[in-house]
Structure 1
Amino acid sequence: MKNFFYPCLTIRGKISEAAEFYTQTFGGSKTGISNPYVIEIQMSGQKFLLLNEGPSSNPNPSISFMVMCENAEETEKCWNNLQDGGKVMMALDSYPWSPKYGWIQDKYGISWQLYTGTKQDSSQKFCPTLMFTGDKAGQAETALRFYTSIFPNSDIEGVLKYTEGEGDRTDFVKHAQFKLNGYVAMAMDSSAEHGFGFNDAISLVVECETQDEIDHYWNQLTAHGGSEVMCGWLTDKYGISWQIVPKIIGKLISDPERGQRVMQAVMGMKKLIIADLENA
């Protein structure tokens, strides 16, 4: 399913400005939903949802986005734009894994890892990267096995551990790549004291065709220590936030006649029930 997964970024009060900033930086445009509460943008064929209100937490680098740049010029252009009001996490430089790489947190709090490589490195331009730190450090590999067991057409493509002298435990994941229904994501462990961890400011949205799919993903992700939140949101046992939503929700909410009733129905639910939304 196209756009089965996509990230939702909470950028309170500035989603219109942020949408313009990101599409200018990476190339893309506003598509689909665009209102004072949420804006949908498409960049390199990938959907991002920008949320104006909801979570009270702020984005942090525990979830960043690896950006696959085809040449140094593209990397430098993106880096120069992101530097405006941003904070450098790792300087733009040559590293063993890339001739030009840098990690930066932009002025809205969203973190980007710019990687110069080739199209063969990843079929996807933007890859969410999960950093397991604090009390979750060391759980990356277990988490990947958990996620790939839940979603169809999923697999772990590679797990690289730290070696002696690389600054972390040799049983920790330095870098891992996995696919959830073809959607590429990455993960790593870090035992450093970062002072941040997963929160709901950045969530992963899963669009579902049927109620059975919603029920399955909801039940699996809330199991073993996860928790239901509201409005289709949940937190899994690792602290990562997910939105499990019907694919038709955008159409229902945008309906001029019943959109408001659908929103009221959503607000009253934890797990979303498609039939109840359609009958609102």
Structure 2
Amino acid sequence: MSPVTICLWYDGTAEEAARFYADTFPDSEVTGVHRAPGDYPDGHEGDVLTVEFTVLGLPCMGLNGGPQFPQTEAFSFQVATDSQEETDRYWNAIVGNGGAESECGWCKDKWGLNWQITPRTLTEALAAGGDEAKRAFAAMMTMRKIDVAAIDAARRAS
């Protein structure tokens, strides 16, 4: 068991979110649903208080804490993909389930959690540095969902 667990704050929807992530990403599952043993500021005894789950093998806990602390772009999951098909699958699952597109491979799920769906070719291009990184970066800056073929073409251009 990992000594670190990411705790994500939800407004009563932790179980719904965790089940969506488990259905969407490999190596993801809901491992526990825990109900409140008594009333608390934003819930009642018996309500789902916490949900233990994994996302791509990463241990997480969803806390139904209430509306006080909405998600922001200050935290996101970055998911590395190997193909356009994989990029499309994750992007479309998140955006198509009440989420929203953003820029440069970012999107937001319907619970407000931010995701970066990032093809490895983009990460590799940026790590290469120099003109290859500049071309890939410039191409990325025009995109919402990352277009793998366009990034690959930018990498090859000289």
Q: Which TM-score applies when normalising by structure 2?
A: 0.88
Distance 2:150 2:45 in 1: 50
- The aligned counterpart of 2:74 is 201
Structure with greater proportional strand content: 1
Q: Is 2:60 the partner of 1:185?
A: yes
**Is 1:159 the equivalent of 2:37?**
no
Write the letter of the residue equivalent to 2:139. A
1:93-242 to 2 correspondences below 5 Å: 123-132=1-10, 137-165=11-39, 168-191=43-66, 194=68, 196-242=69-115
Deviation at 1:229, TM superposition (A): 0.4
2:126 corresponds, among 253, 265, 272, to 253
Please give the per-residue CA displacement for 1:187-241, whole angstroms capped at 9, x wherever unaligned: 11023x63x3111111110011111110000000001321100100001111111
Q: Residues 172 and 190 of structure 1 are in contact (CA less than 8 Å); yes or no, is this contact kept in structure 2? A: no
Structure 2: state its 5+ residue gaps: none
Q: Provide, for residues 41-97 of structure 1, a one-character-per-residue CA deviation record: whole Å limited to 9, x for no partner.
A: xxxxxxxxxxxxxxxxxxxxxxxxxxxxxxxxxxxxxxxxxxxxxxxxxxxxxxxxx
- Is contact 2:39-2:45 (8 Å) kept? no
**Counterpart in 2 of 1:270?**
144
Task: Extract unaligned runs of 5+ from structure 1.
Answer: 1-122
Superposed CA RMSD in Å reads 1.6
| 1:258 counterpart SS class | helix
- Answer whether contact 2:14 2:50 (CA < 8 A) is retained: no
Contact 1:226 1:235 in 2 (8 A): yes
Asked whether the equivalents of residues 155 and 178 of structure 1 are also in contact (C-alpha less than 8 Å), the reply is: yes
What stretches of structure 1 move > 6 A for 4+ residues in a row?
A: none
Count of residues in Structure 1 that have an aligned counterpart in Structure 2: 152
Question: Going by fraction, where is helix more abundant, 1 or 2?
Answer: 2
- Corresponding residue SS for 1:141: helix
Structure with more contact order per residue of length (Cα contacts < 8 Å, sep ≥ 6): 2
| Contact preservation (8 Å) 1:232, 1:271 | yes
* Distance across 2 between alignment mates of 1:253 and 1:217: 22
| Contact 1:265–1:276, Cα closer than 8 Å, also in 2 | yes
Does the aligned pair in 1 maintain the 2:121–2:152 contact within 8 Å? Answer: no
- How far apart, in 1, do the equivalents of 2:116 and 2:106 lie? 4
SS at match of 2:2: coil
